[in-house]
Amino acid sequence: MTQTAIISEVAPRDGIQSITGALVSTDAKIALIQACYDAGLRRMEVGSFVSPKAIPQMAQTEVVLAACKRMPGLESTVLVPNRRGFDAAIEHGADRLGFFMSATAGHNKANLNRTREESFDELAKLVKDTPAGTLIRFNLSCVFHCPFDGVVPEAEALEWVERIVFLDPDMEIALADTTGNASPDQVSRVFRQAIGRWGNRFAYHGHDTYGMGVANVSAAWEAGCRVFDSAAGGIGGCPFAPGATGNVATEDLAWMFRRMGVETGIAWNRLLVAADMAAAIPGAVPGGRMRAVSAARQAA
Ligand code: ZN
């Protein structure tokens, strides 16, 4: 029986958000989303309803989302940092709302300027108020390692996972390696425990800062995880996780799964087009390996 991995493309949000300097135009964002769509990707994090003053690269997310709604079968996630963003996302018809908080006190304070308890309480209300028919992705950042607090004790991370699990029986929960400093054995243990205790409702979001992005995805896959975030061209970073580089590259995951005989729905040749496009965005810091492997390019 062929197994399937679901890849949620995050270059349009996690990737572009971190580009400093020139603003990426709305047209360029839509063109990248179209290229990813043409490559077969049917899930994407396309923007964030944050104040454009706070994160200028995420301006006009409503225009981007409207363009996404013209791509049949595309499930669009938008990040929602607060009640105002929540209202905007619902008004503009987001398919899935992306909530986020950190498993560690230090990163939550730096990224969201509040305690974990405060974030959790606010998000619990948003989960409860999410209308039927709108999907949720609850992202828990820094599950494995925190730029401020170091390696996260597994019991502490799983305590937060447990609290989030009981907010809603259905919502997807992403365990995120925000800094890219998770190790595969740690990813494996945390996913095995989470899936063993609360079922297969988890996604993995990883960065490639330390070169362990693909190994960590493989560890999560072996532990039973089936949903993965990645960015075409490996672009990205996190302004509040100093030193973090891009997300694990979509083309690296696509190649790994292809070699493993796992279905992703991705057309390899078209994915390279999207990955090259992402890597060429002015100011983007690309990552990943596969764009530079000529034998793999010839496989297109
Ligand atoms: Zn990230």
The pLDDT of residue 20 is 85
pTM for this one?
0.96
Neighbours of ion ligand 1 (CB under 5 A): 14
In single-letter form, the type of residue at position 80 comes to V
Closest of 296, 189, 196 to residue 253, by C-alpha: 296
| 15 assigned to some structural domain | yes
The CATH number linked to 107 is: 3.20.20.70
Q: What is the DSSP string of 208-263?
A: -TTS-HHHHHHHHHHTT--EEEEBGGG----TTSTT--PBPBHHHHHHHHHHHT-B
Catalytic member of 36, 68, 146, 238 = 238
| 190 assigned to some structural domain | yes
Name the domain count of the chain.
1
Q: pLDDT tens for the chain, 300 residues: list them.
A: 789 999 999 999 999 998 988 899 999 999 999 999 999 999 999 999 999 898 999 999 999 999 999 999 999 999 999 999 999 999 999 999 999 999 999 999 999 999 999 999 999 999 999 999 999 999 999 999 999 999 999 999 999 999 999 999 989 999 999 999 999 999 999 999 999 999 999 999 999 999 999 999 999 999 999 999 999 999 986 655 566 678 999 999 999 999 999 999 999 999 999 999 999 999 898 999 999 999 989 887
Angle at 42 between CA 273 and CA 244, to 5 degrees: 65
Range of the domain at 37: 6-299
Cα(247) to centroid of ligand 1, in Å? 6
The pLDDT of residue 237 is 66
Cα(287) to centroid of ligand 1, in Å? 14
Cα(228) to centroid of ligand 1, in Å? 12
- Lookup: tokens for 126: 């948003």
- Lookup: tokens for 159: 């305590």
Cα(163) to centroid of ligand 1, in Å? 22
The pLDDT of residue 245 is 78
Cα(1) to centroid of ligand 1, in Å? 32
Cα(241) to centroid of ligand 1, in Å? 9
DSSP H helical segments within 113-183, as ranges?
116-129, 154-165
Q: How far apart are CA 300 and CA 291, in angstroms?
A: 11
| 268 assigned to some structural domain | yes
| 1 assigned to some structural domain | no
Cα(205) to centroid of ligand 1, in Å? 7
Respond yes or no: is residue 238 known to be catalytic.
yes
| 175 assigned to some structural domain | yes
The pLDDT of residue 244 is 65
| 117 assigned to some structural domain | yes
The CA dihedral of 221, 165, 250, 30, to the nearest 10 degrees, is: 160
